[in-house]
Amino acid sequence: MTPELARVLVLLATSVFAGLIVLVVTREDAGIPQPARRRARRLFLAKLDGKQRVSWLLRRRFDVAARSGRRYTISAYRPFNICTGDAVFCVQISGRIPMYDKLLAQKLLIEADESLFFAYANLRTESPAWAPLLSAARLRYPQVLGEARSAGS
């Protein structure tokens, strides 16, 4: 057992023993019933593997591997919360949805279809290497651009 995992287990055991349930309430979660936020958090944590869960509980971020082998780090839900070494991405999940459901949607999108992730993502980078990937994704999924345009009007 790593020292990091041991710390998380001690924190969790202490929290469970004390009967504490910690929920992060963001502006995104305002007005969403607490039971819905709890269910979303439980589902989110259940869908993370052990390493991702430890990372989330300790650092509020976790790594996700796409089928291509590229690795992304997802941090607490906010604009441009997905990053790689040379780029940051924003995939807004709209609607009155708990933050944890939005994070899970981002994770599953990257794992299931990285090209669709690129089609939806806004990108900030200095690297020209990402442009062909985004262009190819948007050609593959032209309906995504149509959805974005109609949502903006």
What three-state secondary structure class fits 87?
A: strand
Answer for the pair 121, 135: CB distance below 8 angstroms, yes or no. no
Q: pLDDT of 43-94, one tens digit each? A: 999 999 999 999 999 999 999 999 999 999 999 988 999 999 999 999 988 8
90, β-bridge pairs: 122
pLDDT at residue 3 is higher than 80: no
Total structural domains in the chain? 1
The whole-model pTM stands at 0.77
Domain that holds residue 75: 3-152
Q: What 8-state DSSP symbol labels residue 67?
A: T
Asked whether residue 106 carries a pLDDT value surpassing 50, the answer given is yes
CA 105 to CA 99: how far, in whole Å? 10
Q: Residue 14 — pLDDT band, cuts 50, 70, 90?
A: very low
Between these two residues, 99 and 2, which has the higher pLDDT value? 99
SS3 72: strand
